[in-house]
Amino acid sequence: MDRTTPAAAKSPMELAEARLRWLDRRQEVLARNIANADTPNYRARDLTPFAAQLARATGSQGMARTNPGHLVGTGNAAGTRPDPAAEVSPDGNAVSLDEQAIKVADTDTAHSLAMSLHRRWVGMFRTALGRNG
């Protein structure tokens, strides 16, 4: 398991920390996509969604296979996956700067929320210990 794969979170603080690590890694991947926006044949990448990684790490079962003929899901929970492109330029590049900018903004918003939750959790501990300040 690498540092971006969430472990079975035991507390809201651990879950927030796992989410923050995932968001930091996602920003790195999105920045790489933007940096390669003019690279011929470059395909944008994205991380496996955090919820899917968390479900795998906690052992949550996805859809049940009720018949041996059903397909088994595949994926790379710990890494990046190709990001399906709507358009490919004539040089084979499949990075949409608009899509990447939206993903960066969404990731930034999620990062702010996770940081806020983390701060509030620490604040509750400080209050319980009588250490406001």
pLDDT of residue 76: 45
Name the percent of the chain lying above pLDDT 70: 76
Classify residue 67: in a domain, yes or no.
no
Do the strands 45-47 and 80-82 form a parallel or antiparallel pair, or are they unpaired?
antiparallel
Quickly tell me which residue has 């790379």 as its tokens: 76
Contacts of 98 (CB under 8 A, 6+ apart): none
pLDDT tens-place string over residues 69-100: 766 655 444 467 777 766 788 888 889 899 99
Number of domains in the chain: 1
Threshold 0.75, pTM exceeds: no
Average pLDDT, the chain: 80
Indicate whether 103 pLDDT > 90.
yes
Q: Can you give the residue range of the structural domain that contains 9? A: 1-62+78-83+94-133
Structure tokens of 7? 């472990």
pLDDT tens-place string over residues 19-49: 899 999 999 999 999 999 999 999 999 999 9
Classify residue 27: in a domain, yes or no.
yes
Classify residue 69: in a domain, yes or no.
no
- Phi and psi of 119, rounded to 5°? -60, -40
